[in-house]
């Protein structure tokens, strides 16, 4: 009998499902449901409710529940062997929070399979909509919590990150301040991950150490709720939060709702969900220190694994609990693909192939020319006032500026990931720009390690399935090894490896010092 595991990922714009066969090491089913198209009645744009205030980004939690019904109905219609599923796990967009009243627990225990989920949940929400990771309306609350915890360094050392607008703690504080009656009527605060897990389990699910760390409320080292952070956020908060647990830990059998309605195996285990970033770490196979990934998208993201918890005293990077029991690190750079495209547009470069030729026409190190391409306000380093800054770089020289942006982005990643104290042995490159060989060669040279391309399709849902598989095997009395568990599911593209050039590595080792000085100089000028 095939051992089938289901992984789900509730992201900003869609709900995805992946079914894996543990014996054949294959993904046997992939489904995805776009919220805007499948559920137009919620009137979302890219999964978000339009708002006059550009800082406010909310979504309706009912939409996520209804999407869960729809994707199970689709799997049933398509003949997916739901009756053979042994465990269900999942991941959710990090930081998004859902607020429920005292009726929530009873509603979960008494889900009626003759009614849709959204009807079963009628009247359980104490807050109409859920703030998302994209919401940046809580700058004041961030400052208040940070001050009470003793500043950036102490906040990061306790919770894994400085306070950020998108993090859940500041969002909870804003809700308490602006809607005190609704906050008082809130009995349960869940995240997207634990909300969806609760629906599947038919009871309030624990929150895992990955998503818990994305709240500015969890003690990153002890992996329990930090009482100082709770006190700094809102009164009575401890009683409104679920317990913390490891991702993949079994909650119990799935709710009979899904067994009766869709034919899901009634003995399938519901497991603790995690955030999409920790799940992606597993989906990409990043299970030991020295393995890192760089996602080259609208924003560029550098993430990987560490055994010993190190936090960034400058508050730029993040540390979350990893499903492996270790820690995952993440640094996000806002000026990613959009900045690269802006340079291409400024210099009239027709396509990325021509852009790559221009980059190759200039020597590594660019004769000492440095660019700081902050077309938008930047997260890392913190830049409030956008602008391009050039040092020993001729603005009119197209080739030099094309090389400069590639070098700047990679040197910024290297500089601002040093706090992790883990040098990458190899980097998996993912995202839209990961097929740009000129960019990947600069990456390999600056980072001084091998770079391999990897095609990522639903990596969070795949990671969620693998985490659930680990939980199911553990519950069955086995001692699964992560290396063996992830083997075969995520492999680099054959012959995609790019090796660093020794001479170029030496050049960048020296140039990094100048880059750091230029960055400090630019930040001082902006501050003045």
| Residue 508, Cβ density class (10 Å: 0-12 exposed, 13-18 middle, ≥19 buried) | buried
Q: 3-state SS of 479-526?
A: CCCHHHHHCCCCCCCCCCCECCCHHHHHHHHHHHHHHHHHHHHHHHHH
The 8-class DSSP code of residue 251 comes to E
Give which of 53, 2, 54, 63 is closest to 27, Cα–Cα.
Answer: 2
Q: How confident is the model at residue 293 (pLDDT cuts 50, 70, 90)?
A: very high
Separation CA 396–CA 207 (nearest Å): 53
What DSSP assignment string belongs to 402-457?
HHHHHHHHHHHHHHTTGGG----SEEEEESGGGG-HHHHHHHHHHHTSEEEE---S
The token pair that represents 407 in the structure block = 């070098």
179 within 8 A of 127, measured Cβ to Cβ: yes
Separation CA 491–CA 455 (nearest Å): 8
Average pLDDT of the segment spanning 373-389: 91
More confident residue, 457 or 294: 294
321 within 8 A of 210, measured Cβ to Cβ: yes
Question: Mean pLDDT, the chain, as a whole number?
Answer: 95
End-to-end CA distance of the chain: 68
- Domain 4-279 shares a fold with domain 285-455+498-528: yes
Average pLDDT of the segment spanning 483-496: 90
Task: Give residue limits of the domains in the chain.
Answer: 4-279, 285-455+498-528
Average pLDDT of the segment spanning 273-284: 93
How many residues are listed for the chain in this entry?
Answer: 528
> Which residues are CB-neighbours of 77 under 8 A, at least 6 positions away?
none
Alpha-carbon 298 to chain mean position? 14
Q: How confident is the model at residue 184 (pLDDT cuts 50, 70, 90)?
A: very high
User: Does the model's pTM come out above 0.85?
Assistant: yes
The yes-or-no verdict on residue 252 having pLDDT over 90 is yes
The CA–CA distances, whole Å, from 293 to 66, 219, 305 equal 33, 26, 10
Task: Give the three-state DSSP class for 180.
Answer: helix
CB atoms inside a 10 Å sphere around CB 469: 25
The 8-class DSSP code of residue 310 comes to -
The yes-or-no verdict on residue 309 having pLDDT over 90 is yes
Note the pLDDT tens digit of each residue in 207-233.
999 999 999 999 999 999 999 999 999
Task: Give the three-state DSSP class for 297.
Answer: coil
Separation CA 22–CA 374 (nearest Å): 45
Average pLDDT of the segment spanning 155-171: 96
The yes-or-no verdict on residue 455 having pLDDT over 80 is no
The token pair that represents 210 in the structure block = 């990955």
Q: How confident is the model at residue 246 (pLDDT cuts 50, 70, 90)?
A: very high
Q: How confident is the model at residue 248 (pLDDT cuts 50, 70, 90)?
A: very high
Average pLDDT of the segment spanning 374-387: 90
Note the pLDDT tens digit of each residue in 65-102.
999 999 999 999 999 999 999 999 999 999 999 999 99
Q: How confident is the model at residue 48 (pLDDT cuts 50, 70, 90)?
A: very high
Q: Which of the listed CATH numbers 2.60.120.260, 3.40.50.740, 3.40.50.10260, 3.30.420.40 matches domain 4-279?
A: 3.30.420.40
The pLDDT score that the predictor gives to residue 456 is 67
For residue 202, how many C-alpha atoms fall within 13 Å in the half-sphere facing its CB?
Answer: 16
Average pLDDT of the segment spanning 477-495: 91
More confident residue, 368 or 431: 368
The pLDDT score that the predictor gives to residue 423 is 86
271 within 8 A of 252, measured Cβ to Cβ: no
The yes-or-no verdict on residue 271 having pLDDT over 70 is yes
Least confidently predicted of 74-78, 120-124, 427-431: 427-431
The pLDDT score that the predictor gives to residue 304 is 87
The token pair that represents 458 in the structure block = 């639903």
Average pLDDT of the segment spanning 451-463: 86
The pLDDT score that the predictor gives to residue 192 is 98
Quote the Cα angle for 287-293-296, to 5°: 155
CATH code 3.40.50.970 for 285-455+498-528:
no
Average pLDDT of the segment spanning 370-378: 94
Average pLDDT of the segment spanning 475-491: 92
The pLDDT score that the predictor gives to residue 457 is 64
Report long-range pairs for 472-481 (Cβ below 8 Å, ≥24 apart): 472/5, 472/86, 472/87, 472/250, 472/269, 472/271, 474/248, 474/250, 475/250, 475/269
Separation CA 214–CA 50 (nearest Å): 25
The pLDDT score that the predictor gives to residue 355 is 97
> Which residues are CB-neighbours of 116 under 8 A, at least 6 positions away?
66, 69
């Amino acid at each position: 009998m095939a051992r089938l595991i289901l992984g789900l990922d509730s992201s900003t714009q869609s709900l995805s499902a992946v079914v894996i066969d543990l014996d054949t090491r294959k993904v046997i089913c992939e489904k995805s449901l776009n919220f805007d198209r499948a559920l137009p009645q919620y009137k979302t744009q890219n999964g978000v409710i339009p708002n006059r205030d550009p800082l406010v980004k909310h979504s309706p939690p009912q939409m996520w529940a209804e999407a869960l019904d729809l994707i199970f109905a689709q799997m049933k219609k398509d003949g997916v062997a739901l009756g053979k599923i042994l465990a269900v796990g999942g991941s959710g967009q990090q930081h998004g929070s859902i607020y429920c009243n005292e009726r929530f627990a009873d509603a979960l225990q008494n889900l009626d399979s003759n009614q849709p989920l959204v009807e079963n949940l009628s009247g359980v929400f104490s807050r109409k909509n859920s703030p998302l990771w994209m919401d940046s309306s809580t700058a004041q609350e961030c400052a208040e919590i940070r001050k009470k915890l003793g500043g950036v360094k102490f906040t990061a050392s306790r919770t894994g990150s400085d306070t950020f607008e998108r993090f859940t703690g500041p969002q909870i504080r804003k809700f308490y301040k602006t809607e005190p009656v609704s906050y008082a009527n809130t009995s349960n605060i869940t995240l997207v991950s634990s909300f969806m897990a609760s629906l599947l389990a038919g009871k309030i699910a624990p929150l895992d150490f990955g998503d818990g760390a994305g709240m500015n409320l969890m003690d990153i080292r002890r992996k329990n709720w930090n009482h100082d952070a709770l006190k700094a956020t809102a009164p009575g908060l401890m009683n409104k939060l679920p317990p913390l647990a490891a991702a993949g830990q079994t909650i119990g059998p799935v709710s009979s709702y899904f067994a009766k309605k869709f034919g899901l195996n009634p003995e399938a285990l519901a497991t603790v969900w995690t955030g999409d970033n920790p799940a992606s770490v597993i989906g990409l196979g990043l299970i030991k220190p020295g393995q890192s990934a760089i996602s080259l998208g609208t924003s560029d993201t550098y993430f990987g694994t560490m055994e010993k918890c190190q936090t960034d005293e400058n508050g730029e990077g993040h540390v979350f609990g990893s499903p492996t029991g270790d820690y995952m690190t993440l640094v996000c750079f806002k000026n990613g693909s959009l900045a690269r495209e802006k340079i291409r547009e400024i210099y009239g470069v027709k396509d990325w192939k021509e852009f790559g030729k221009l980059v190759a026409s200039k020597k590594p190190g660019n004769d000492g020319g440095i660019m700081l391409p902050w077309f938008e306000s930047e997260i890392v380093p913190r830049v409030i006032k956008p602008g391009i800054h050039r040092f020993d770089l001729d603005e009119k020289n197209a080739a030099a500026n094309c090389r400069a942006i590639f070098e700047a982005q990679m040197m910024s990643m290297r500089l601002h990931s040093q706090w992790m104290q883990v040098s990458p042995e190899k980097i998996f490159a993912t995202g839209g720009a990961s097929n740009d060989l000129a960019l990947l060669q600069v990456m390999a040279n600056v980072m001084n390690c091998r770079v391999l391309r990897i095609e990522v399709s639903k990596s969070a849902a795949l990671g969620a399935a693998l985490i659930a598989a680990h939980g199911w095997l553990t519950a069955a009395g086995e001692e699964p090894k992560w290396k063996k568990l992830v083997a075969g599911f995520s492999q680099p593209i054959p012959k995609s490896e790019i090796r660093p050039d020794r001479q170029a590595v030496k050049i960048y080792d020296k140039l990094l010092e100048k880059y750091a000085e230029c960055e400090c100089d630019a930040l001082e000028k902006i501050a003045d």
